[in-house]
Amino acid sequence: MSSAQLSVPGGSVAVTMVSANPPVPLTMVSGNGIAGPAAPPEIGDVSRPALVLAEFYNAFGDSTTLGVGSETGSDWPEAFRTIATGQTAAFNGGTGGNNDASIEDIGNGGVGGENSASVTARITGLDPTYASQLARTSFYGAGLNDYNSGVSGWSRNWPAQVKTNYATGAAALTGSKRLFAFLAPQENNYVSGCQWGADHRFHALDMADTYEELAFDLARYLRFVRQLEAPSGTADADALDQGQIPYKYRGGTNDFADVDFAAISGSAAPSDLNYDEGTIYWRTSTNASYRKIGASGAGSWELVDTKHFSLWGNQVIARLAGDIAIAEEGNGPPVCPPARFRVAADAAKSTVVGMLDIVGTATAFALRTYDDEEVTDFSISANGAIVKAGAGTLTEGVTELVVVAQNDDGVLLSPVDIYVTRPSTETAPELRAIASPYISVAGRAEHGMSDGKQISAAFYFNSASLAATQQLALLTRGSAPTQPINFNIQTNGNTRILAYDDTNTLVANLNLSTHKVTAGSPFWILIALDFATDTRCVYLTENAQTVGSITNGSNIPLADTTPRFLNSAGVRGYYDGLNPFAGSIGFIGLWDSYVDWTNSTNRRALFDASGNPATRTPYAAIDSQVPRFELWGGKGDWAWGSPDGSFDEKLLSISHRARTLMS
């Protein structure tokens, strides 16, 4: 055990390093030749042995795994074979661009509509003809597209579907071999980098909670590797600030000249998609060619760039797979998947924040900042437990740290993101300037709302300005009606409510002006609509609005919607959408049922007669109705997307720009 007293603003804190496996201590030799305790490992100590393998490996996946290019390097399995020696000739995973669905190729290189069910079928289909391949450590990366429609059998609750398919594939392996899940970044028509939506965040958390060291958030890992090296002021540094996968590693819309390495020269006019010297490039609709870091152009994969990687991205993934492989064989340094933990701002000293998952065996750990400095607020124990180091109050928000894991075979790094949430003494919603100037929130596609004729909502806010429409909630879908529910504040302070039924008939068109919102003052807006009975009520804090009639049409199509709060377009990395909310926000709640706000008891569940927030347990029923979504608390709670970590299945996700400003 070693310790150091570190000077920090406002005082100092002791950081303790404990080495695991005491019978095999690490030592250092001083100038006088006397051996002593090893110094804690640092970022600069990274080392690993050559990738010499004793076993065979498989890769199962879609185009994230096997690429969308030709057979000259557009997939990470090929990069793996390039850097590995030993038993690698039988490393399976197909070759880049191979769209053959044969069992021998295991994976797929870009066939439209591929999902985790079909990839898993390739695993189970190995038996009996290729059953020997099941006795191999394997890697799985599939089904993380936003395929809510258009793919037969694909579910809005794709995280549950992918998890089930993964489990089936893992169970098919024999000889106690394990299936490592590479959780891909999201692919859909709106990606400008890495869309880190609520469903993907939940999937990463859920897989890590269930499968621990087998689940690797690939998007977070790629960001982490580049965070340690991207020069300030470059396009990659900007992409990282925005929560995106670095341009160097993925597809994008920027030329090489915009990034901190030299452009690649070569021939133009590829016939379709080509992979050459580390860059995928596409032909545009005018047949002009642009050499990019990744895919870009007008084609079937036009905007789905972030799931497909450059040569450099594939090399990083291949090296990660190699690190996992030799750690699994017992011949390499320990590998820790990216981790996310929550801790209350006023947690007691020595509170365990979280436990690292580890592939292999570690003999020492350290926590470092990205500048390779010692960490003062947290320490790490011999078993990988991260604990609060001091008795002081932590700063709310997100703290990103580097885990340095060591054994006799080397030293490796991984990211840990610590979300510091509201103090335990804060039991009621509180207005917070979550980010400046805007904040924007999106919900999970699998929210559990049902088509029907009732909806209720509650918002606590202080609008900084009414110069533009202030969006409160918007439920969107791909087909008409594209916006079944729209709640917003108009520039004149009116509360605006629009609703459409599933025949695209406008059934509510309310512009409420009895009581008006004013900028710079806190308000609660409470909404409840029952279209079947024409029952409705809207309150501005304690003041009842005069609400016109609503129409009893067919059901409101709520189930097939994507919820958006505080914006009228989706949250995409650094993008806050259209009409993002400006000001402070304290509470968001949404029900697909009727909450009778005319009953003062129900209002008192949220605030007193003066509008001051009441003590609340997250997701407690009001008027016997449990909200589908609820979000309030400190900056770390908003960044996490839930007022209580036990409700991660209901996650909301704010833009990465807002997370950055909160921290």
Q: Out of 190-194, 444-448, 586-590, give the one with best mean pLDDT.
A: 586-590
Q: Residue 243 carries which DSSP code?
A: T
Q: At residue 277, does pLDDT exceed 80?
A: no
The tens digit of pLDDT for each residue in 160-184 reads 888 999 999 999 999 999 999 998 7
Going by the DSSP 8-state scheme, the letter that residue 62 receives in this structure is S
Write out pLDDT tens, residues 367-396.
Answer: 999 999 999 999 999 899 999 999 999 999
Range with the largest mean pLDDT of 36-50, 344-358, 552-566 = 344-358
Based on the fold, state whether residues 64 and 138 are members of the same structural domain.
yes
Domain check: are 159 and 236 in the same one? yes
- One domain, residues 453 and 596: yes
Strongest mean pLDDT among 87-101, 147-161, 196-210: 196-210
Residue 628 phi, psi (nearest 5): -75, -35
Residue 136 has pLDDT above 80, yes or no: yes
pLDDT on residue 660:
67
* CATH code of the domain containing 362: 2.60.40.60
Residue 481, preceding peptide bond in cis (omega within 30° of 0): yes
Is 427 among the domain residues? Answer: no
Burial code (b: 16+ CB inside 10 Å, e: under 16) for 314-330 equals bbbbbbbbbbbbbbbee
| Mean pLDDT value of segment 221-245 | 76
Is the same domain home to 403 and 449?
Answer: no
Same domain, 414 and 501: no
Q: Are residues 100 and 183 in the same domain?
A: yes
CATH number at residue 618: 2.60.120.200
pLDDT over threshold 50, residue 244: yes
User: Considering 386, 421, 456, which residue would you say is the last residue of a domain?
Assistant: 421
Q: So what's the pLDDT on residue 105?
A: 38
In a domain, 588, yes or no: yes
In the predicted model, what is the mean pLDDT of residues 508-533?
A: 97
Q: What is the pLDDT of residues 441-473, one digit of tens each?
A: 888 888 889 999 999 999 999 999 899 888 899
User: From CA 297, how far away is CA 276, in angstroms rounded?
Assistant: 16
In a domain, 285, yes or no: no
Taking the C-alpha atoms of 581, 585, 587 and 591 in order, what is their torsion angle to the nearest 10 degrees?
-10
Is residue 504 packed enough to be buried (19+ CB in 10 Å), middle (13-18) or exposed (0-12)?
middle
Q: For position 189, what pLDDT does the model report?
A: 36
Looking at 392, 421, 450, the residue that finishes a domain is 421
What is the rounded CA–CA span in Å between residue 596 and residue 276? 63
Q: Confidence band (pLDDT; 50, 70, 90) for 269?
A: very low
More confident residue, 16 or 317: 317
Summarised one tens digit per residue, pLDDT across range 392-425 is 999 999 999 999 999 999 999 999 999 999 999 9
- 520 and 656 housed in the same domain: yes
Do residues 167 and 124 make contact, with C-beta atoms less than 8 angstroms apart?
no
Q: How far apart are CA 515 and CA 530, in angstroms?
A: 22
Residue 21 has pLDDT above 50, yes or no: no
In a domain, 608, yes or no: yes
Residues 132 and 96 reside in one and the same domain:
yes
DSSP-assigned states of every residue in 131-169: GGGGSSEEEEE---S--SSSSTT--S-HHHHHHHHHHHH
Which residue, among 119, 96, 128, has the nearest Cα to 179 in the 3D structure?
119
CA dist 501 and 505 (Å) reads 5
**N residues, the chain:** 663
- Residue 298 domain-assigned? no
Percentage of the chain modeled with pLDDT above 70: 71
Percent of the chain whose predicted confidence (pLDDT) is above 90: 48
316: helix, strand or coil: helix
**What pLDDT score was predicted for residue 154?**
63
- Please answer whether residues 342 and 648 qualify as being in contact, where contact means their C-beta atoms are separated by less than 8 angstroms: no
pLDDT at 229: 83
Domain boundary among 421, 446, 462: 421
Please report which confidence band the pLDDT of residue 67 belongs to, taking 50, 70 and 90 as the band edges.
Answer: low
Going by pLDDT thresholds of 50, 70 and 90, the confidence category of residue 45 is very high
> In whole angstroms, what is the distance from residue 382 CA to residue 405 CA?
10
- Find the domain containing 401 and state its range: 2-21+339-421
Our CA angle for 165, 168, 171, nearest 5°, is: 150
**Residue 83 is encoded by which pair of tokens?**
């850097």
- The answer on 485 and 376 residing in a single domain is no
Same-domain check for residues 73 and 210: yes
Degrees, nearest 5: CA angle 240-246-251: 140
* CA dist 83 → 49, 59, 249, 317, 335 (Å): 12, 16, 18, 12, 18
The CATH number that applies at residue 159 is 3.40.50.1110
Q: What is the pLDDT of residue 581?
A: 83
State residue 133's pLDDT score: 81
Q: Between 352 and 440, where is the model more confident?
A: 352
> Where do runs of H (alpha helix) occur along 173-257?
198-211, 218-227, 235-241
Cβ proximity of 326 and 51 under 8 Å = yes
Half-sphere CA count of 418, side-chain side, radius 13 A = 28
Tell me which of 130 and 41 has the higher pLDDT: 41
Give the residue with greater pLDDT, 98 vs 421. 421
Alpha-carbon dihedral sign for residues 242, 248, 253, 256: positive
Residue with tokens 């007008």: 298
Q: Are 57 and 91 in contact (CB under 8 A)?
A: yes
Output the pLDDT for position 240: 73
What's the sign of the alpha-carbon dihedral 318, 323, 327, 332? positive
How much is the mean pLDDT over the chain?
78
Query: What is the mean predicted confidence (pLDDT) over 257-263?
Result: 34
> What average pLDDT does range 605-618 have in this prediction?
97
Q: What is the pTM of this model?
A: 0.84
Burial of residue 121 (number of CB atoms within 10 Å: 0-12, 13-18, 19+): middle
What is the pLDDT averaged over residues 465-484? 90
In a domain, 36, yes or no: no
Q: Name residues whose C-beta falls within 8 Å of residue 276's C-beta, 6 or more positions apart in sequence.
A: 72, 264, 266
- Both 444 and 319 in one domain: the answer is no
Tell me, yes or no, whether 479 and 538 share the same domain: yes
pLDDT of res. 294: 37
Predicted confidence band of residue 2 (pLDDT cuts 50, 70, 90): very low
Three-class secondary structure of residue 66 per DSSP: helix
Count of domains in the chain? 3
> Model confidence at 320, in pLDDT bands (50, 70, 90)?
very high
Residue 288 lies in a domain: no
Residue 156 in any domain: the answer is yes
Task: Give 521's pLDDT tier (boundaries 50, 70, 90).
Answer: very high
Tokens of 319: 């090296």
Count CB atoms within 10 A of the CB of residue 633: 27
**Which backbone phi and psi does 137 adopt, to 5 degrees?**
-60, 135
| Listed residue (567, 560, 630, 549) closest to 595, CA to CA | 630
Higher pLDDT, 69 or 588: 588
CB 441 within 8 A of CB 652: yes
Q: How confident is the model at residue 525 (pLDDT cuts 50, 70, 90)?
A: very high
